[in-house]
Chain A
Amino acid sequence: MSAINAIEVNHLTKKFGEKVAVNDISFKVRQGEVFGLLGPNGAGKTTTLRMITTLLKADSGQVKIFGHDTAKEGRLARSMFGLTGQYASVDEDLSARQNLMIFSRLNGLSRQEAKDRTAELLTEFSLENSADKPLKAFSGGMRRRLDLAVSLITRPALIFLDEPTTGLDPRTRSQMWDTIRKLVDQGSTIILTTQYLDEADQLADNLAIIDHGHVVKMGTPAELKEQLGGPRVTFTLSQTRQVAAAEQLLATQVAGDVREAGPDLSVSLGQVAQLAPLLATLNDAKIGISHLAVQEPSLDDVFMNLTVGKN
């Protein structure tokens, strides 16, 4: 891929009154990758996105889109990306077709091009049958699809998706994921914000975890998970009174600490191979196990670890 980064964000800061919403955030997004901004509500994800997309003026810091400083070349930068907001930003009073036509024209397409592109997008996003119905009759999923379709009118190389699946039902959500993957296959660079860890895990090549306006961690989903160590095993003891004894026993066998929740004890393993000796030890001590679960670390664990006690 080209040497120019799709996005370079340097020391971006934004204050709302006394509250620092975004505090000195920096990151780079390479062309063709999916970059996820992950964080809880109010972490500063949307504010960051709004600054990058020139909707909001930063107090300090710099944003470059394909090498162009958005503060100096705003209109040029705006012509290079598509934006899908957190709330479907389409015209409620108009039909899907009218929305697509108007936004096509505003994007600089000629009347004929706008017509062709509208027809194309209506098909692509399965909106043909409702193309001329008022948007008020649209479901949440249809609205999002139209919203995304509008963002894609000019086939931008860079697409911003602000919480693309918040509020969607599971089926619509996975449809949206498929659509996003298709865009990636076509070579688009995508920045998405999400508060869903599985979504970031599924889609993102690189992640920045944001909390309280700071980037607390950056890396690939795999790297972030790796930091938590190997898989986690949870034993459910048959007799609750043995919990203390079992806990002591396990603590001598593994490096990490033992987490206790009722009859459940869980420990982190370096490798799955460590499991057999653990089971043997428990067996020797006559500690019965009624249930056993081995879990690969999820981004949820990463997230909880990083933001624990802060919210």
Chain B
Amino acid sequence: MDIRIHRGNVIQNTATMAYRNLLKTIHNPDQLMDVVIQPVLFMLMFGYLFGGAIAGGVKAYLPTIVPGILIQTMLSAASGSGAQIREDLDSGVFDRFKSLPMARIAPLAGQLFADSLRLLIAAITSLTTGYLMGWRPGVGLGWVVAIGLLAIFMGWVLSWVFALLGLLAKSAAAVQSVSLMTMLVLSFMSNAFVPMHALTKPLRFIAHLNPVTYVITAIRQILATGSWTHEAWVVLIFGVVIVAIFAPLTVWAYDRN
């Protein structure tokens, strides 16, 4: 058989790498634990634990906590990207990728695109659990899909940041612990679980600095008003800017490895 080499383009290489990462996930379904079980667990625990204390009942608390858990799950799913990239880099197979005549960015981009599947699963699980607990947003399904996509996009944005972390770290274990801490701080030091006005002054100050607060606020506003608000635009643009900054940095760190 005659082998003709078509110089694969970036998009095709990336698609192949994304396919590879999907196959890996299919062969190791336990990697999906964090996006399937965690949101269900947190939604149930936090809903029934804090619902009464914060909002006077689970049902009244759901409009607060559903966007909160949704974003927290995105954070957690995105933070997994860093550890996975580190693990991949430490395995022999990455040498092979690097020795192939393909676009150098493809392994990285493929990983990040495949991770959006994890984000999608996480979003669906979070919202469905909320629904089963009695969450009934007053807006049409279209808007629920819209906030789902916004959340996934923001999670994807964050996975670039965590990917950079993974590339700079020494080991997968180090990435994991740093990611976990970052995830906990960002999600709890925000308005994800407790309304802004109920926070103490210093905490409110921190929550105001935390970008996660703005994402959650934007989502709650969309769900409350049924319109794409000013805040939603700000969040979206913020996300694009973060990718514009972190994508080149991540690629640089990847090339350096």
Binding site for B on A (CB under 8 A): 50, 53-55, 75-76, 78-79, 81, 83, 85-94, 98, 102-103, 105-110, 113, 116-117, 120, 134, 150, 153-155
Contact = CB atoms under 8 A, between A and B. Distances in A.
A249 to B, nearest CB: 57
B99 to A, nearest CB: 5
A78 B99 contact: yes
Contacts of A88: 92
Contact of B27 (A83, A93, A120): A93
Given A120-B1, A154-B5, A102 B20 contact: yes
A89 B101 contact: no
A240 B23 CA distance: 69
Given A116-B1, A117-B3, A93 B28 contact: yes
Given A76-B101, A94-B20, A134-B27, 14 more contacts: A55-B95, A78-B99, A79-B101, A85-B92, A89-B94, A92-B91, A94-B23, A102-B19, A106-B102, A107-B5, A108-B6, A108-B102, A116-B1, A153-B3
Contact of A83 (B20, B91, B99, B106): B99
Contacts of A86: 92
Instruction: Provide the main secondary structure of the chain B interface.
Output: helix
B115 to A, nearest CB: 16
A187 to B, nearest CB: 14
Contacts of A76: 101
A75 B101 contact: yes
A75 B91 CA distance: 22
Interface string B1-39: 101111110001100110110011001100000000000
Contacts of B99: 53-55, 78, 81, 83
A179 B14 CA distance: 33
23 contacts: A50-B95, A54-B98, A54-B99, A78-B100, A79-B7, A83-B95, A86-B92, A87-B92, A89-B95, A90-B93, A91-B24, A93-B28, A94-B23, A98-B20, A103-B100, A105-B12, A106-B13, A107-B8, A109-B3, A113-B1, A113-B3, A117-B1, A153-B3
Interface of B: 1, 3-8, 12-13, 16-17, 19-20, 23-24, 27-28, 91-102, 106
Contacts of A109: 3-6
Contact of A105 (B4, B8, B28, B91): B8
10 A-B pairs closest in CB distance: A89-B92, A79-B101, A89-B96, A78-B101, A108-B8, A105-B16, A93-B24, A87-B92, A83-B99, A108-B6
